[in-house]
Structure 1
Amino acid sequence: MGLKSFIIPAVDIKDGKAVRLYKGDPNAVTVYGDNPVDVAKMWEEKGAKHLHVVDLDGAFEGKPKNYKIVQQIVEAVPIPVEFGGGLRSFDAVKTMFEIGVDRVVIGSLAYQNRREFVKIVEHFSGKVIVGIDAKDGRVAIKGWLEKTEFSPLEFAKQFDDMDIWGFLYTDVNRDGAMVGPNIEGTKILAQNLSHPVIASGGVGTVEDVKKLYQLKKYGVYGVVVGKALYEGKIKLEQLED
């Protein structure tokens, strides 16, 4: 797997548009496309092997709001789509699988309702990614608005013996800022967990991607990239598969 396959383009949906937030701030929005479906198709055409779709409205409101757009994305691209944003119940997760997403990312529910989370994992074994959103060294939930007492590793360890797919680690303070990913934080998680880790947040250059790619041997599966792709700092079509 080359750098192109290692990169997972992000398609974040807010108010029906493809956007990026700056450091998780719902008021710091940049719109990159009026039609998220077209954006998803563009990344697939440029060589993406996998897409990361987030319902930002859902993340902030606590339940997915953009079902139809996500379904249209799934139907429009032949590559796997992982989805996150507002998945706080078994029924919400079930609906997303019914419309064709490949994997789901769950963060807040894993912290708030262990019983419901376990039910989801048991029913959709190997299809759940635990979202670890870190802010100032602590896991944040509810659209990054509320910090918990757990470090990312402490939080992740609670789920590492379950039949999940793996973990998505986002450093929220770096997200959308293109200041470089949290290499050390990603490495610590990957070295100490038995499941794969996807990195996210802060990637601004191909060099950033290469640094994370070197962590593959520890269990880093890939990296979600948003702003650097949208701003043309990283050109997916120019990378090797």
Structure 2
Amino acid sequence: MIIYPTIELWHGHCVSLTRGRLDEPVIWHVDPLAKARDFAAAGASWMQVTDFDAVATASGTEGPEGDNAALIEEIIRTAGIPVQVAGGIRSLARARHWLEAGAGRVVIGTAAVLDPAMVLEAAKYHPDQIVLAVDVYQGRVMSAGWKEASAFAPLDFLAHFEAAPLAAVLITDIDADVGDSDATLGLVSGLAGSTRQPVIASGMVRTLDDLSRLKYVGNVAGAVVGRALFNRTLELEEALALAAEPTEPQAEFR
């Protein structure tokens, strides 16, 4: 399992959001560039950077300081590990911009709801570099920074992209911010079992115990971890060590 330590950016600061609410960010007073290098030094093989300013811009609620493109490009150049870029990528041109800037992968969510053909085209021309984001709230796929509910159930949404050469599917249970971790594990498990695409779980790993349980969900190839690394409920070195351990055989019950 791959651990994706994550930096979420808002006006140049590392932040965490509750259910995506940009009006109530928790600001972490750390240098994003230094934090990215710390992830690499700890042994991470990948990291993710999410640009919340770009999400706001793409949704028509642009903040006063624009996006974090220059900062993210500097992270890509200096982190020392591949970077998966997320946030506000709504067009093929924008996806290509980040891949040409050196991003290892790009994450596309809202555009997959609004223009699925574009995502299929992106995956065709950039195989294994496009990650499909599936953000779920109350049984529906969400878009526009978790603000708008689509008509799609997660299983139907995933099925539409089943044949695409995606790098992975990034599944986020929006309820996980305040909800039941067992229910979140059940959601991820059910969706992971329904697709051939590798699954990355997001928003459900807060402790080593959470990671331990996630390791035994079939077809889960990775976990995005952000807030837990900043509030120190999880140490990256311990998470990486646990993720690298082989899973033990599970007894079959008849």
The TM-score, its normalising length taken from structure 2, stands at: 0.86
SS in 2 for 1:25: coil
* Residue of structure 2 equivalent to 1:86: 88
In the aligned structure 1, how far is the partner of 2:38 from the partner of 2:24? 24
SS in 1 for 2:17: strand
Over 2 Å off, 4+ runs: 114-119, 177-181
Q: CA deviation at 1:149?
A: 1.7
* Residue of structure 1 equivalent to 2:101: 99
SS in 2 for 1:27: coil
36, 48, 53: which one aligns with 2:49: 53
In the aligned structure 2, how far is the partner of 1:219 from the partner of 1:163? 16
* Residue of structure 2 equivalent to 1:62: 58
Alpha-carbon displacement from aligned partner over 1:195-224 (angstroms, at most 9, x marks no partner): 100001132211001111111xx2101111
Q: Does 1:235 align with 2:231?
A: no
Is the contact between residue 47 and residue 83 of structure 2 (CA under 8 Å) also seen in structure 1? yes
102, 112, 115: which one aligns with 1:113: 115
In the aligned structure 1, how far is the partner of 2:179 from the partner of 2:48? 18
Is the contact between residue 37 and residue 80 of structure 2 (CA under 8 Å) also seen in structure 1? no
Q: CA deviation at 1:47?
A: 2.1
In the aligned structure 1, how far is the partner of 2:80 from the partner of 2:181? 30
Quick one: which amino acid aligns to residue 72 of structure 1? E
* Residue of structure 2 equivalent to 1:224: 224
23, 26, 36: which one aligns with 1:27: 23
150, 166, 169: which one aligns with 2:168: 166
* Residue of structure 2 equivalent to 1:8: 4
Equivalent pairs counted in the alignment come to 234
In the aligned structure 2, how far is the partner of 1:186 from the partner of 1:100? 30
Q: CA deviation at 1:173?
A: 2.1
* Residue of structure 1 equivalent to 2:247: none
In the aligned structure 2, how far is the partner of 1:204 from the partner of 1:78? 25
* Residue of structure 2 equivalent to 1:180: 181
Is the contact between residue 135 and residue 171 of structure 1 (CA under 8 Å) also seen in structure 2? yes
Is the contact between residue 13 and residue 19 of structure 1 (CA under 8 Å) also seen in structure 2? yes
Q: CA deviation at 1:100?
A: 0.5
Q: CA deviation at 1:34?
A: 4.8
Quick one: which amino acid aligns to residue 47 of structure 1? G
In the aligned structure 1, how far is the partner of 2:131 from the partner of 2:19? 21
Alpha-carbon displacement from aligned partner over 1:26-57 (angstroms, at most 9, x marks no partner): 11211113532122112222222210110111
The alignment-based identity, stated in percent, is: 29
SS in 1 for 2:205: coil
Quick one: which amino acid aligns to residue 212 of structure 1? L
In the aligned structure 2, how far is the partner of 1:136 from the partner of 1:210? 25
Bigger strand share: 1
SS in 1 for 2:24: strand
In the aligned structure 1, how far is the partner of 2:32 from the partner of 2:181? 26
In the aligned structure 2, how far is the partner of 1:62 from the partner of 1:138? 21
In the aligned structure 1, how far is the partner of 2:79 from the partner of 2:205? 24
* 1:207-222 → structure 2 map (5 Å cutoff): 207-215=209-217, 218-222=218-222
In the aligned structure 2, how far is the partner of 1:47 from the partner of 1:29? 28
* 1:186-201 → structure 2 map (5 Å cutoff): 186-201=188-203
Stretches of structure 1 lacking an aligned partner (at least 5 in a row): none
Rg larger for: 2
* 1:123-142 → structure 2 map (5 Å cutoff): 123-142=125-144
In the aligned structure 2, how far is the partner of 1:124 from the partner of 1:77? 23
In the aligned structure 2, how far is the partner of 1:143 from the partner of 1:23? 9
Q: CA deviation at 1:125?
A: 1.5
Stretches of structure 2 lacking an aligned partner (at least 5 in a row): 60-65, 245-254
In the aligned structure 2, how far is the partner of 1:85 from the partner of 1:65? 10
CA RMSD, Structure 1 to Structure 2 (Å): 1.8
